[in-house]
Amino acid sequence: MRQYLLSICFDGTDFHGWQYQPNAVTVQELLHSALKLLCGSEVPPPLGCSRTDAGVHAEVFCCTVRTEKEWACPALVRALNGNLPRTVRVLGCEEVALDFHPRYDCTGKRYRYQLWNAAAENPFLLRYSYHERFPLDAQRLNELAQPLLGTHDFSAFCAAGAGTKTSVRTVTRADFARRGDLLLFTVQADGFLYNMVRIMAGTLLQCAKAPHSLPPIEQIIAGRERKNAGVTLPPQGLFLEWVGYQDREYKGV
């Protein structure tokens, strides 16, 4: 048995996330189907570095596949891309040890949430951003985001049904940058909870638009109650853009 680590990218618009879902199309399902065509029906499902929600995009996503067949990595990349829809692409491949796990060996991930901050929607970004008409100040948002940095229990920024053993995560980056009317919220951490970035973004926007509608971010964190935080922004603005491991990293396209 051999194990290969794949770096892939996908437009999540038409998918119900990475992981297998009943009666729904997922990236894991499509990749597994392509693998079975190439390696036989007994090939196990690929394992991913995280679970992405329906509609969320990945500029890079890491997963492992196992097969008894030996592949030259360039040949496996070409073969998989020939059997996948154009909205999913395999970017790279390398053979790794059988005890490597793409999720549990991951040391960090970075997400970007995109907001189109203008009076009118941008038709070219409807699938890739959240439209916010209210004029936002990136500097003020960065001030509001500062308490998110560090190691905290982020229960207040986790949707129900997560099923994680612990809600403690270490956030090393949380900042906004403006590129014209496009506002980018970037968050890097050693791990993420269910809907964590989307809840963070929704909370910070609400604090900026209506300063007294929510408690201060420090109190929201300390309270560890989801009801104290803001809304969950929709998935189409969210991109996974970086995945890190102890001895390697993968950046988005």
Catalytic annotation, residues? 53
b/e map 18-27, b = 16+ CB within 10 Å: beeeeeeebb
Pairing of strands 182-189, 168-179: antiparallel
Residue 194 vs residues 13, 38, 149, 189, 226: alpha-carbon distances, Å: 18, 33, 18, 13, 12
Angle formed at CA 205 by CA 202 and CA 208, multiple of 5 degrees = 150
| Separation between Cα atoms, residue 118 and residue 202, nearest integer Å | 17
Q: Which helix (H) or strand (E) holds 62?
A: strand 57-67
Pairing of strands 57-67, 2-10: antiparallel
58 DSSP β-pair partners: 10, 240
